[in-house]
Amino acid sequence: MKTQKHNYGTAILAAFEYLLENYPEVFVIGQGLWSPWYVGNSMTDLDKKFGIERVIDTPVSESACTGAAVGASLAGMRPIVVHPRMDFMLYAMDAVVNQAAKWSHMLGGQAHPAVTIRSIINRGGEQGAQHSQALHAWFAHVPGLRVVMPTTVADARDLLIASVLCDDPVMYIDDRWLYDQEDELPPVVELDLATQRPEISVIGSDITIVASGHASLLAREAAQQLENEKISVEVVDVRVLNPFHAEEIVKSVKKTKNLLVVDSGWISGGFSAEIIAKVVEQLPVNCLNNPPVRVALPDAPAPTSRVLEKAYYTSIDDVVKAVKKILNS
């Protein structure tokens, strides 16, 4: 089987190309699409290849453009809305939360908003509070909305394709800090998003780290470091946050008897709490050797000043320390 060398960004680009080539009902709408320097190398030249009628650059109107995509999906299209920064997408919350997520339910399963909303976490670089947010936990709280956070290069491509081919609204969240990863990918096989589950990305026996998106990459890198110190870490990548299935995680924790959750959002009311709650609910009493721990952002907006910013974001070292603290307690 012929494989192709990709990084995370070109894997997303490959998904767009696959979808636009094979599905005439797919179109893309969002700001910056005719000059997509906002989105790394993930959308280069799509407008030239597929035409500006299917790759639509828009007025500065997140709300109407997202709503229009929802409406087009009700009329048989499979639109992808692109929000180069999640923060600006907050203008579109009605279209996402009140409309896309609810139409199937409130109309008796007759309407299918098959819309994919690609929203990008794009932070660091002293950008500050309104260019930095990771709000996946909000969206995972909303029934009817599927929430996807691909970590690997393969998932960046294959979960985008699965999201667009799914009949439900999907929030697909990618993080610019994942874009440097490289991998060899086999040809596309279409996946059914509804059957996707968390995946074990590193096998280990001393502790389970659960994470999604960029936090999952940190967990993998921490696991590598800890291996040198003879600590065997199992990493479970969540992949799909809503609807959230914890069975694979429960299985892993039953084996390792220790649980650390790493998350790229804020700690309070975050997705890390949901993971721990759902796992602990399904564990036998006294299964855990230590209380579960979470590592996530402090409850503050992102600072701009570089010293504060460096301390604010979770590092590989923070994850390594948290593991050692759990195992040595």
Partner 1 sequence: MKHELKGLSNPEKYHDPISIKNQDIGVLTNMLSTMLLIRKTEQQLALERKNGAIGGPVHLGAGQEAIAVGISQNLKKTDRVFGAHRSHSHLLALNPDFYRLFAEVLGKKTGFSKGMGGSMHLYDQPNGFYGSVPIVAGTVSLAVGAAMAAKMQRTDDIGVAYIGDGAVEEGVVHESFNLAKIQKAPMLFVIENNLFASHMHISLRQPSDMISRFAIANDIPYKLVDGNDVVAVAKAAKELIDDIRAGKGPGFIELVTYRWYGHVDWRDDVDVGVDRALDDIENWKARDPIARLSKSMIKSKIWTKERELELGNKIDKEIQTAWEMAINDPYPSADATLKYVYS
The residues that touch partner 1, with contacts defined as CB under 8 A, are 27, 53-54, 56, 58-59, 61, 63-77, 79, 94-95, 98-99, 102-112, 143-144, 146, 167-168, 194, 243
Residue 142 CB, shortest distance to partner 1, in Å, is 10
Smallest gap from Cβ 146 to partner 1, in A, equals 7
The two structure tokens encoding residue 122: 């794009």
Nearer to partner 1, 11 or 170 (CB): 170
Judged by beta carbon, residue 194 or residue 300, the one nearer partner 1 is 194
Q: Nearer to partner 1 by C-beta: 91 or 312?
A: 91
Ranges assigned E (strand) in 31-135: 55-57, 78-83, 116-121
User: Closest approach of Cβ 106 to partner 1, in Å?
Assistant: 4
Helix orientation angle between 153-165 and 8-22, rounded to the nearest 10 degrees = 30
With respect to partner 1, which residue has the nearer C-beta, 109 or 284? 109
81 has which bridge partners?
A: 29, 117
For the CB of residue 59, give the shortest distance to partner 1 in the complex, in Å. Answer: 6
Shortest distance, CB of residue 53 to partner 1, whole angstroms?
7
69 vs 74, 132, 183, 185, 265, CA distance in Å?
A: 9, 25, 32, 30, 27
Nearer CB in complex with partner 1: 100/202: 100
DSSP code per residue over 176-238: GGGTT-EEEEPSP----GGG---EEEE--SSEEEEE-THHHHHHHHHHHHHHHTT--EEEEE-
